[in-house]
Amino acid sequence: MSDEEDIILADLDDEELVQQMMDDLYDGMREEIEEGVNILLERGWEPYRILTEALVGGMTIVGADFRDGILFVPEVLLAANAMKGGMAILKPLLAETGARTIGKMVIGTVKGDIHDIGKNLVSMMMEGAGFEVIDLGINNAVEAYLEAIAKEQPDILGMSALLTTTMPYMKVVIDTMKDQGIRDDYIVLVGGAPLNEEFGRAIGADAYCRDAAVAVETAKTFIARKHNQAPA
């Protein structure tokens, strides 16, 4: 029997609890993560703070050990599942802060890439800020993006990629939009851990967004600019 079972999460102070939640995320313990999130909420923590400090913080450690060959895919999947459990509790709370729809975004992870946690976080934060979000999920070919923007007529197209091998696909999507003469009809925002500003510029995106909070701020800035440019 492990020591883990003896720990009463509610008895820990905030700092110990966040540390324990990082350990629990690492061990893929979804129920414990859900309990920890609820305890922090009861203690008055802002949903965004729980998300960034306990959940994203924990996933960063998982990522480092995955890279170093200490953790393998099954363990990382369990950690991702635990993170999603926590995110599911926070999602409606983050959404509550948004008053009305200020714009519409279609977002999806690019073809060949199945990472969706970061994209889901961006969707949640955008919804929380008052955007309507159409989430295309993972592994999206250019046709899926084009079909969705034609159908939904969003203000923004968002693309996510977590692999150095899949990030160039964003350029395929943007180049196809250029070929079809529709590139400038949309604000194109891109994000994902291996990207940077230079890459965003090089592929012809409007902006690279480092994280979900930056995605929200960038989206708001571009929407405001678009409204200012609109004919009276």
Q: How far is the CB of 150 from ligand B1M (least distance, A)?
A: 19
What is the pairing mode between strands 207-209 and 187-191? Answer: parallel
- Beta carbon of residue 65, minimum distance to ligand B1M (angstroms, whole number): 8
Residue 232: CB minimum distance to ligand B1M, A: 30
Quick one: 17 or 51, whose CB is closer to ligand B1M? 51
- Taking the complex as a whole, how short is the minimal distance between the CB of residue 200 and ligand B1M, in angstroms? 10
Nearer to ligand B1M, 19 or 81 (CB): 81
Tokens 């609820």 map to which residue?
Answer: 38
Q: Which residue, 60 or 101, has its beta carbon nearer to ligand B1M?
A: 60
Binding footprint of ligand B1M on the chain (CB under 6 A): 56, 59-60, 62-63, 66-67, 73, 76-77, 80, 107, 112-119, 121-122, 158, 160, 162-164, 189-194, 209, 211-212, 215
Inter-residue contact 131 to 157 (CB < 8 Å) = no
CB nearer to ligand B1M: pick between 41 and 76? 76
